[in-house]
Amino acid sequence: MDVLTIFISILVFGLIILVHEFGHFIVAKKSGIMVEEFAMGMGPKLISKKIGETVYSIRAFPIGGFCNMLGADTATDDSRSFTNKPVRTRIAVIVAGPVMNLLLAYIIIVWSVASGGYLSTTVNRVLPNSAAEEIGLQAGDKIISLDGQRIHLKQEIDMIVQQTKGSPLQIVIERDGSRITKLVTPRQEGDRWLIGFEPKIGENNVFNVLSQAFWQVIFIIKQVIIGLIQLVTLKAKGQVAGPLGVMDIIGEAYQEGMKASFYVAIQYLLSITALISANLGVMNLLPFPALDGGRLIFLFLEGLRGKPVDVEKEGLIHFIGFAVLMTLMVVVLFNDISRIFIH
């Protein structure tokens, strides 16, 4: 892992964290909550400047950031404290971080689709001696659903076909305004399963670009959720990548892109940034202490009970959760080091 990879990774992580914390920050400010510090990084301060009532700082270790709001973890009578705002306001502040990460992913994907195009779910050409030819698929047919799942993206078709591994699938197509249902059995070519058709390049109008980007973000969210379920049920394949593992992926993406041009390398990096940002947005909503989702659980409880959980006790729970997360981070980091530098 060279210096350039580390530098690029810090930029990517920095952008994602900045956007996340800015979500918390701007909604807190607009809601009249006092933000004591807005920091990029963790550990000792390197640079700091107080503007108005808020200290803006860059800290030594580029592994996170925070938006420190008055009264977030300690009790106070100040009317501008986080805990003294209505539950709905506090929920909005907490949710704003993950939402901004998903918005960043969406904006990047909009640019990617608009500049690079996309593959539609409409058939351009049926491949000879394929499963598609066998069921009479024709050029111009639009795939509406596969295996009972509504289809919006070419990626969804590929994923379903690979997951079912040659099992017969119900396919619904739209042809000349009518819907036709057929049964297709994908065929194996090498290590892939295929229906056997070439998709049309999508029409790049504003509606299609915005729609494609939206469904791509939804697709990423679904993949993250599926991955988490597999992880919890011990069915996950492969290793979980930590910060070093992700940095390695970023470096590989940049180097692969540079084989074509600097512009392609930037496209690859932005695609990785969108993927990481969407992942962070979803992961932060997990109902675990110290994560935004953990804080939301306490706010929902407060809304149901009509009174808050003791701030000091909640703060302690989040501290314990943070310690557990840091322990897991060390374990994953050790696995990354072992995989990248030893093997």
Q: How would DSSP label each residue in 71-91?
A: TSSS----TTSGGGS-HHHHH
Q: pLDDT by residue for the chain (343 residues), tens digit each?
A: 578 888 898 899 999 999 999 999 999 999 999 999 999 998 899 999 999 999 999 999 887 899 999 988 777 888 899 989 999 999 999 999 999 999 999 999 999 999 989 999 999 999 999 999 999 999 999 999 999 999 999 999 999 999 888 899 999 999 999 999 999 999 998 889 999 999 999 998 999 999 999 999 999 999 888 887 877 776 656 555 666 677 888 888 888 889 888 988 999 999 999 999 999 999 899 888 888 999 999 999 999 988 888 877 888 888 888 888 777 766 666 665 565 555 4
- Nearest of 117, 112, 134 to residue 200 by alpha carbon: 117
Distance CA 302, CA 300 (A): 5
| In this structure, CATH architecture of domain 119-201 | Roll (2.30)
What tokens were used for 52? 């108005």
**Tokens 């690079």 belong to residue:** 116
Q: How far is CA 193 from CA 122, 128, 168, 259, in A?
A: 19, 15, 12, 29
Domain ranges of the chain: 3-114+270-342, 119-201
CB contact set of 310 (below 8 Å; sequence gap of 6+): 75
- Structure pTM? 0.87
The catalytic residue positions are: 21
CA 278 to chain centre: 2
